[in-house]
Structure 1
Amino acid sequence: MRATHQTRPFAPFEWLISLRYLRARRKEGFISVIAGFSFLGIMLGVATLIIVMAVMNGFRKELLDKILGLNGHLLVQPLESPLTDWKEVADRINTVQGVRLAAPIVEGQALATSPFGATGVLVRGIRSDDLTNITSIARNIKQGTLEGFDEGQGLAIGRRLADQLSVRAGDNITIVAAKGAVTPMGTLPRNKTYRVAAVFEIGMSEYDAAFVFMPITEAQAYFNRPNDVTAIEVYTTDPDKIDVFRKNVTEAAGRPIFMVDWRQRNATFFNALQVERNVMFLILTLIVLVAALNIISGLIMLVKDKGSDIAILRTMGASQGSIMRIFLITGASIGVVGTVIGFLVGTVICMNIETIRKFISWLTNTELFSPELYFLSKLPAEMDTGETFAVVLMALTLSLLATLYPSWRAARLDPVEALRYE
């Protein structure tokens, strides 16, 4: 008796037949069209997912940098008694490892007026050294200077606020607070005229239009807080490790305090971003899913068309496993190549997204990314290795799963039935 020879899985002839099935012939043109659309669907789905996730990450990072660049990662507020020992508390917090800056502030709402307009503002009293250590302010001074900030009665205001009031560095504005001197006629508003010492531009319109920085001693006098401050803003080296810093800052404060971290202060904003990001991921995953379903339909049609070929291969000795692997390779090749090219296209676009935005804006003569609407001056894209790997893995998995049923049907085809009417 002659011993039967069992071919190893994924033998060269299986690859050869699979790749021949991927090449279009005239009578198989429709099947080839389905395969082409499946390839395009997976490629565009993967590329779009990578680009959208990168842009959403870029938005979060840029907005986080701008929000936390101005506001501290931790806001320390007093409990039981006013924060009259603010200098000592701030010095102790500054010694905590990982704390970059502990800045005492006096904060209050007011009305800023000039001969050309009026608008509501948030006045923040702060020490000159602390203000210069807030890099988002110190590095973005557009007019004037912060030198001698503590010595005079000058203010630092945002660029959009300066535009609304039509003032420049060196001009005067009047700050009006609701609570002023108490008289027999009642509480009178307090108003005082200050010189604009500096104009800054963070790049986030809400902050540039609302914040006014004042020397802390002047703010204490203006808001009737001669010995205490409103709170201490704590800036850390890593906002994602804020839970560790909360514990250390509580111990270093040495007095009853109440703390609010950046996640609580901006919970609504960042939760909305996260929800939007998750929804976009689910919606765009449907593109890849539809492309995977196209692979199923294309392979089922290919199995029906190649019924006689499958029967001949079976009679020549090909096993059911070989037939299944042939169609598995055919379908998986579409998914793998589409995923790889989609990954490359998405990466290239992410690396040049600002250049592409400028080109499209120039070509269409429109503003595609308005800084007033999106708070940012450019389109950000920050690719995350873990997310990109997850997108690629998801696309490959869907592509592979899509080939299983048609391949199983091909392997179960009865050679006698397939050749009966040939």
Structure 2
Amino acid sequence: MLLYAATFPYRPHCMFRPLELFIGLRYARARRRSQFISFISVVSIVCITISVMALITVMSVMNGFDYQLRSRILGAVSHVTISAYPGEALPAWQQDLAEVRKLPHVVGAAPYLELQSFLAGRGSTGAQIRGVDPAIEPQVSAFNAHMVTGQFQSLQPGSWHILLGNDLATKLGLAVGDKVLVVIPRMHSSPLTGSLPVTRSFTVSGIYALGMEEYDANMALIDIHDAEALQGIHGPGGIRVQLDDMNRAAQVARQLQNGLGPQVFVSTWMDDNSNFFSALAMEKKVMFIILSLIVLVAVINLVSMLMMLVTDKQAEIAILRTLGSTPRSIMGTFMVQGVLVGVVGIALGVSLGCLLSWQVPAIVKLIERIFHVTFLSPDVYYISEVPSRLDPVDVLAVAVVTFLFALLATIYPAWRASRTQPAQALRYE
């Protein structure tokens, strides 16, 4: 077949194809004398397919966890936070709030005041209390969308109502309608009692479950006017800002810091959680590198297949050389063979990987139902389902890396084929 293609290379249907590509594709469609080489070719395609599929699926699952964690963290943490000095009210906060809302990319802004406290019910624990304005707080957080019992709008000035995270309510042994004693580490004096911390009894009017332990177990919400009364100040301690694109947080933060001056601090969600998200990004990169090594191992089968093919086709290579084919042409012909196997494996792997990534949550649920197991127990993990989020950039990266591995795998066997000496190869033919 190689001799036939080299003898008649200028047929009309191949006028616009390079000779090496024509010979390689024509030979790929031909029946081979060695069934073992064909078997190795199939094995190479299967190995590349499985490795590409596994890499895409793992990357999609990691993207899913990353997205879930970001969504849950940003349900309580705003994109940009403007804060005053600890224990002080934000100066001219109403004017600052109006200016913030005029900025481009700002979709919401709301005042807040945070207090350190000690809560006592049937149990006791320390917690952070955040004073919010229930009318506009949904613009910057998702607490209202994660209420388990009670109503978010029950927070009203002077009502002395409090919302607890579900884990915090469990620690305190409280439910909706129960009383909780709030102790604030701000000392006040009287002639009879001396210096005592500020205490106040609140009524639990709701319980939320945001899905992050940091907020479900350590945070409570009250009305911002009640928080100001406990802290003994007039005005909020800061402003929380929500953007239409969280990736613009640093840009907007710089603009706010320059506009508001040094009397306030401006931070972003990335500043508050930089170590956590940096660890996630590093873990994703490491997993990509490790699983890329699996792709590399799969591509080694391609080297074996091409080496056996070169040995099997010594006579045909010699005839092509005697007909005028250059070593470069011979090398290109065998590289086409290897790249073709790699492209087929990549195409199948990408197709199956995308399909598997799309169906991972359903497949995991099916396995759990059949074998009566739970991979992510809700009692242990805050994300109780295996998430998956397919990213086209990751799919492209996997395909490109695998193609480069396949291309590199063809170089040595093709080079060995190009070094074939016609006289030596035809000696025993």
Per the normalisation by structure 1, the TM-score is 0.89
Q: Which position in structure 2 is the counterpart of 1:191?
A: 199
Distance 1:247 1:371, change over 3 A: same
Which residue among 227, 230, 237 is the counterpart of 1:222? Answer: 230
Contact 1:180 1:187 in 2 (8 A): yes
SS in structure 2 opposite 1:339? helix
Distance 1:255 1:192, change over 3 A: same
Give me the whole-angstrom Cα distance separating, in 2, the residues matched to 1:216 and 1:319: 82
CA deviations on 1:274-297 (whole Å, 9 max, x unpaired) are: 110110011011011122222112
Q: Note the C-alpha offset of 1:371.
A: 4.2
Distance 1:399 1:149, change over 3 A: same
Give me the whole-angstrom Cα distance separating, in 1, the residues matched to 2:108 and 2:64: 26
Give me the whole-angstrom Cα distance separating, in 1, the residues matched to 2:184 and 2:404: 62
Q: Note the C-alpha offset of 1:339.
A: 0.5
Contact 1:38 1:334 in 2 (8 A): yes
Question: Is 1:16 matched with 2:18?
Answer: no
Contact 2:361 2:386 in 1 (8 A): yes
Give me the whole-angstrom Cα distance separating, in 2, the residues matched to 1:140 and 1:11: 60
CA deviations on 1:89-148 (whole Å, 9 max, x unpaired) are: 222222222222222221122222212x22221100111213343451112222111334
Query: Match for 1:88: what amino acid?
Result: Q
Q: Which position in structure 2 is the counterpart of 1:271?
A: 278
CA deviations on 1:361-398 (whole Å, 9 max, x unpaired) are: 22332221234554324322222222211211111121
Give me the whole-angstrom Cα distance separating, in 2, the residues matched to 1:235 and 1:372: 32
SS in structure 2 opposite 1:178? strand
Give me the whole-angstrom Cα distance separating, in 2, the residues matched to 1:306 and 1:260: 67
Question: Is 1:44 matched with 2:50?
Answer: yes
Aligned length: 413
| Structure 1: gaps (5+ residues) | none
Q: Which shows bigger deviation, 184-193 or 353-362?
A: 184-193
Question: Is 1:237 matched with 2:247?
Answer: no
User: After the TM superposition, which residues 126-275 of structure 1 pair with which residues of structure 2 at under 5 Å, given as runs?
Assistant: 126-134=132-140, 136-151=142-157, 152-182=159-189, 187-224=195-232, 226-250=233-257, 253=260, 256-275=263-282
Contact 2:299 2:406 in 1 (8 A): yes
Question: Is 1:408 matched with 2:408?
Answer: no
Give me the whole-angstrom Cα distance separating, in 2, the residues matched to 1:272 and 1:144: 36
Give me the whole-angstrom Cα distance separating, in 2, the residues matched to 1:235 and 1:214: 20
User: After the TM superposition, which residues 324-335 of structure 1 pair with which residues of structure 2 at under 5 Å, given as runs?
Assistant: 324-335=331-342
CA deviations on 1:15-57 (whole Å, 9 max, x unpaired) are: 2223437x5x6x552x445434432332122112212222222
| Structure 2: gaps (5+ residues) | 1-6, 11-17
Query: Match for 1:61: what amino acid?
Result: Y
Query: Match for 2:215: what amino acid?
Result: Y
Q: State, as a whole percentage, how many aligned pairs show the same letter.
A: 32
Q: Which shows bigger deviation, 320-329 or 410-419?
A: 320-329
Which residue among 71, 82, 94 is the counterpart of 1:76? Answer: 82
